[in-house]
Amino acid sequence: MYREDPPRRSRNKTNSFETRKYIAKVYLYVCFGLGIFGLSVYGTIEAFKALFPDPYDTELVFFILSICMFVVFLVGGLGCLFLAKERYFLKLLCFVLVAASIGVELSFVLDVTHKVDPNVLWVSAGMTVCTVVLLTPIAFFVKRKTIFFLSGLLMVLFLGGIFFSFANIFVGSRSVYMLVECVFLVAFSLALVVYTYFIIVDKEGGNDDIIQHAYLLFVAVVNIFITLVRINMF
């Protein structure tokens, strides 16, 4: 049996206000990460244009670079999650590496999207902001049992999305592609709510590891944005 959460109105109002302030501070770090992400996207595109005027020369180089950036992302992510919060500047460096590596990996996808239809990027960015603004407050009101249910649903959605992604390699259906993207969009949106809930629990329990929390929300926000880009390009 799950223990019922205490009524929200019985909680200390000061603690609730401090928690909201903390979430806002976490999102400042997320915005900082998005800035690094944007700069790395722009820098990668411009560097490749300057170094490789012929697009066909970039394929192997970008493939190798993507593998390197994936390793950087993994190392940086582990640092954000598991380094002690007292090692603030090292964790901040890991966060910067994560944001920069994701930007490099996604730079060519976003560059192609911009060339095809620049409005897709702006529309997707606006939809991402609306999604974050609408979903974040929900985490303050959900119950523990609801979060356990959402966590299970999240796992099912991710596994289902991965299964249909592999299946679509052989089928090649545009309808299945759209279904997969919609499944992942719902999954990443649920992840945002679940992560925010556990950040609230951490803060109210005395754990204010802001880099760890910013990393979780940053990854969720970027995934929502990229999924919306793919859907809007369909």
pLDDT at 55: 62
What is the per-residue pLDDT across 74-118, written as a single tens digit (0 to 9) for each? 999 999 999 998 899 999 999 999 999 999 999 988 988 888 888
What separation in angstroms does the CA of 168 have from each of 172, 180, 223?
5, 9, 20
Is 104 in contact with 44 (CB distance < 8 Å)? yes
SS3 at position 207: coil
Share of the chain above pLDDT 70, in %: 92
Angle at 60 between CA 33 and CA 167, to 5 degrees: 75
pLDDT of 226: 95
The string of DSSP codes covering 175-201 is: HHHHHHHHHHHHHHHHHHHHHHHHHHH
Amino acid at 150: L
The neighbour count for residue 21, using CB atoms within 10 Å, is: 11
Q: Which two tokens stand for residue 99?
A: 């944001």
Residue whose token pair is 């944007």:
38
Low-confidence ranges of the chain (pLDDT < 70): 1-15, 54-57
Cα torsion 140, 143, 144, 146 to 10°: value is -110
